[in-house]
Structure 1
Amino acid sequence: MGPSSKPFGNPPQKPTFPIHNLNVHFPQSDIDDLRSRLNNARPLRTTWENSFTDAALGIRQDWMDQAIAYWRNKYDWREVEEKINKYPNYMASLKAREHEQSIHFTALFSEKTDAVPVLMLHGWPGSFLEFQPLMDDLVSNYSPSDLPIHLICPSHTGYGLSGPPPRHDKFTKRDAAELYDGLMRGLGFDSYVVQAGDFGALIARLMAENFDGCKAIHLNRLHLERPETRDIAPTTKEEEKAVAEAKEWNLYEAAYKREQVTKPATIGIVASSDPVAMLAWIGEKFLAWSDETPSLDMILSNVTLYWLTESFPTGLWAYNDDHPPVAVKGTSPHNKHEKPVGYSLFPKDHETYPESYVKKAMNLVWFRQHDKGGHFAALECPKVLLQDLLDFVKEVWSNH
């Protein structure tokens, strides 16, 4: 890899793996094809279900009609590419279980000798685009000479610009953890912190458990085993309420997850066969899981990235690790480890737990509860999440 011409673009050490700078630009024919499909889409049929007042039965037709019209006539993917290319982007070749994996990541590298390396992991149905507002905030407040962290944001295997998982072998979260430890070590960071939400939080816990280089993790989403499976039974009314709400969320909102866990091949084909279908499946989650709904441009950018990279089907590996027909032993992220854990609780995320309950399941050393924010914290409240991360890093790294 040659020197990057962009600010924040040069790792402090020469990477030990093959890597090259990336400028994102999709062929115009791909964009024209998407627009043609949108222009030729059959009008949506009005039903009682898709007209339900609070969208409790799924995404509303009127929102879909407005989003499709905007996507078709006003949305500009080239502007998104300009924003992506404003920051350094890279493609790296790494190994996990002897499989060569092509991994995309965007990064802000600091020139400070004591800058703390931070790996930031997205989830589903997100992408690295979630972290752009947070990166905007960093570069507006710091220069390369005083940035307090190195921020590395990869696209998961099978997501966005990263290569797909191997077709001949099951790829697991444990494999992803190995991949990202290799990424950080290969960049010269023998010690680092991981920040994550959604299923990225499961990978972060596996990294803390299995790799010495991961010194601490900061999470904005928790995945805790059910109380009956471990000695983490609720003992206060607050804990009982949180556990009951988690069960209710899984009853009424997790149908998508059961489909993606048990029949990923089917939903992979359905959602990727038509951009309107993909928008409905992904857009529903951005609307239902947010406290403050992200802009329509951001939702469409995320869906467009999935569409142009054909990565919806290849990103579903994260859901069926524990599915009996393909379960892989040793991939559970629920083992308790002694690495320091920080938790930012955003109230509108799903499965939120009070501090006392989290301490039963992990070595929680830092906790902050917010009065607003949902599942997509990096999009909804990037300044808040960033400040939490910087405060956590400052505290645990000094101890380290």
Structure 2
Amino acid sequence: MESPITPFEPAIADEAIADLQQRLKLTRYPDEETVEDWSQGIPLAYVRELTDYWSAEYDMGRVCGTLNQWPNFLTEIEGLDIHFIYQRSPHSDATPLLLTHGWPGSVLEFRHVIDRLSNPTEYGGRAENAFHVVAPALPGYGFSAKPRAPGTTVQKIADLWIALMKRLGHERFLAHGGDWGSLVTQAVAVAPGTTCAGIHITLPVVAPDPETLESLLPEEVQALEAFNFYQDWDSGYSKQQSTRPQTLGYGLADSPTGQMAWIIEKYAQWCDCEVNGLRHPENAIPRDELLDTVMLYWLTNSGASSARLYWESFNNPDMAEIELSSAISLFPNEIFRSSERWARKKFLNLHYFNDKIAKGGHFSALEVPDLLTQELWQWREQLRALEIVA
């Protein structure tokens, strides 16, 4: 028997807030880094500043208050309670759109685009581009259940999402994702019996085309340089999470400051946040919004459970060709980039590709929600012109 869909109001007990406050006050810090930049990790002075702000000035009720701006629901699929936001559009002909976040993201990542996508006429868009927005939390993230056995891979999550969309009555839908959301969205596209009509992603995991390596385009040279930098200087977190997530989890579960540093260091590296040669995450995302994400991980004790997705799927991404109608929007400070000709080797029906976006990084929905919304609107219009969706 199919599990019901039940309304859900995210809430945190007062005792959890009191415990957090106590832990923040008792934070034990390491000694200061020996460099003047972020090359050894997030600087001590900034961590102290954030911890003090979190404890004394940050509104501890922000996370649940933000989530409860939209209708939240729970439903059990294959033994896992899945939390999701479901914002229906006031426009009757809206198209169902599945949004999938990544790590260290959450459903809060879509806070600035949910209303833009569901009610575009309030944001300078057209009613024809309206979406019914479905934004589920990945298993092990936030208020979704933590898997109690191995096997919750990217492909498994894709199956859960297709079942969720069917349960909501959306037999045919579109899907968008970034980070892990990109990989889940690609898995939705190739899942047996999928009813997804088209996908849009911001992180294409594409191998260089061997036939072009002797005549690389400038953007391909940059893509290889970015990949090499990631491998040499920016992938330590993924190695730990993909091999020993449980060991890491003890520190993340015990220290809110440790959880904060683990997350915000990646925002500093992956956002388009460099000003006058210096990177700082608050150049791209407000401090309170950064801490909102940290709060959601901390209060739901999701450090280890979210990291396990790396153990499940990071080392064996599906590089198979995708025949479903696909679209790619590449923001300038994305971790991995691809040329259009490389992308077309994997995405056989690549109907939209834009690598000329003015600004934005890995967290485009938070950093530049207007630009991401415009990309999704343009993709939607392209699908209409191709008669893939009405």
**TM-score, with structure 2 as normaliser:** 0.89
Aligned pairs for 1:127-138 within 5 A: 127-138=106-117
Rounded Cα–Cα distance in structure 2 between residues aligned with 1:28 and 1:219:
38
Distance 1:208 1:386, change over 3 A: same
Does residue 83 of structure 2 align to residue 83 of structure 1?
Answer: no
Equivalent AA in structure 2 for residue 301 of structure 1: D
Please tell me whether the aligned partners of residues 91 and 105 of structure 1 are also in contact (alpha carbons under 8 angstroms). yes
1:156 aligned to which of 128, 134, 138: 138
Distance 1:141 1:397, change over 3 A: closer
Q: Partner residue of 2:225?
A: 244
Please tell me whether the aligned partners of residues 262 and 323 of structure 1 are also in contact (alpha carbons under 8 angstroms). no
Please tell me whether the aligned partners of residues 206 and 338 of structure 2 are also in contact (alpha carbons under 8 angstroms). no
- Counterpart of 1:225 in 2: which secondary structure? coil
Please list every run of 5 or more consecutive structure 2 residues that lacks an aligned counterpart in the other structure. 274-283
Please tell me whether the aligned partners of residues 122 and 130 of structure 1 are also in contact (alpha carbons under 8 angstroms). yes
Q: Partner residue of 2:84?
A: 105
Q: Partner residue of 2:278?
A: none
Please tell me whether the aligned partners of residues 90 and 119 of structure 2 are also in contact (alpha carbons under 8 angstroms). no
Rounded Cα–Cα distance in structure 2 between residues aligned with 1:275 and 1:352:
33
Does residue 182 of structure 2 align to residue 201 of structure 1?
Answer: yes
- Counterpart of 1:320 in 2: which secondary structure? helix
2:333 aligned to which of 327, 331, 348: 348
**1:45 Cα deviation (Å)?**
2.5
**1:395 Cα deviation (Å)?**
1.6
Q: Partner residue of 1:69?
A: 52
Distance 1:322 1:89, change over 3 A: closer
**1:137 Cα deviation (Å)?**
3.5
Please tell me whether the aligned partners of residues 234 and 243 of structure 1 are also in contact (alpha carbons under 8 angstroms). no
C-alpha deviations, 1:65-100, integer Å up to 9, x for none?
A: 1100100100112133222111111111112xxxx1
Rounded Cα–Cα distance in structure 1 between residues aligned with 2:290 and 2:338:
27
Please tell me whether the aligned partners of residues 227 and 336 of structure 2 are also in contact (alpha carbons under 8 angstroms). yes
Please list every run of 5 or more consecutive structure 1 residues that lacks an aligned counterpart in the other structure. 1-15
Please tell me whether the aligned partners of residues 88 and 118 of structure 2 are also in contact (alpha carbons under 8 angstroms). no
C-alpha deviations, 1:331-372, integer Å up to 9, x for none?
A: x42210211111111111111112222112213210122121
Rounded Cα–Cα distance in structure 1 between residues aligned with 2:269 and 2:222:
21
Equivalent AA in structure 2 for residue 127 of structure 1: S
Aligned pairs for 1:278-357 within 5 A: 278-292=259-273, 293-322=284-313, 332-357=317-342
**TM-score, with structure 1 as normaliser:** 0.86
Distance 1:267 1:227, change over 3 A: farther
**1:215 Cα deviation (Å)?**
1.3
How many residue pairs end up in the alignment? 369
**1:244 Cα deviation (Å)?**
3.1
Rounded Cα–Cα distance in structure 2 between residues aligned with 1:66 and 1:183:
41
- Counterpart of 1:352 in 2: which secondary structure? coil
Rounded Cα–Cα distance in structure 2 between residues aligned with 1:158 and 1:232:
40
Rounded Cα–Cα distance in structure 2 between residues aligned with 1:290 and 1:25:
29
Identity %: 29
Distance 1:227 1:53, change over 3 A: farther
Equivalent AA in structure 1 for residue 72 of structure 2: N
Please tell me whether the aligned partners of residues 203 and 333 of structure 1 are also in contact (alpha carbons under 8 angstroms). no
C-alpha deviations, 1:1-33, integer Å up to 9, x for none?
A: xxxxxxxxxxxxxxx641111111111000110
C-alpha deviations, 1:163-216, integer Å up to 9, x for none?
A: 01133x322111100000000111111111110010111111111011430111
Deviates more, 1:245-254 or 1:148-157: 245-254
- Counterpart of 1:190 in 2: which secondary structure? coil
Does residue 360 of structure 2 align to residue 379 of structure 1?
Answer: no
Rounded Cα–Cα distance in structure 2 between residues aligned with 1:204 and 1:233:
28
2:352 aligned to which of 351, 356, 366: 366
Q: Partner residue of 1:273?
A: 254
CA RMSD of aligned residues (A): 2.2
Q: Partner residue of 1:259?
A: 240
**1:224 Cα deviation (Å)?**
1.9
C-alpha deviations, 1:223-277, integer Å up to 9, x for none?
A: 123656xx77574232233223212222211111111111111112222221111
Rounded Cα–Cα distance in structure 1 between residues aligned with 2:146 and 2:384:
34
Distance 1:234 1:31, change over 3 A: farther
Equivalent AA in structure 2 for residue 161 of structure 1: F
Rounded Cα–Cα distance in structure 2 between residues aligned with 1:40 and 1:130:
30
Rounded Cα–Cα distance in structure 1 between residues aligned with 2:308 and 2:107:
18
Please tell me whether the aligned partners of residues 234 and 240 of structure 1 are also in contact (alpha carbons under 8 angstroms). no
Does residue 162 of structure 2 align to residue 181 of structure 1?
Answer: yes
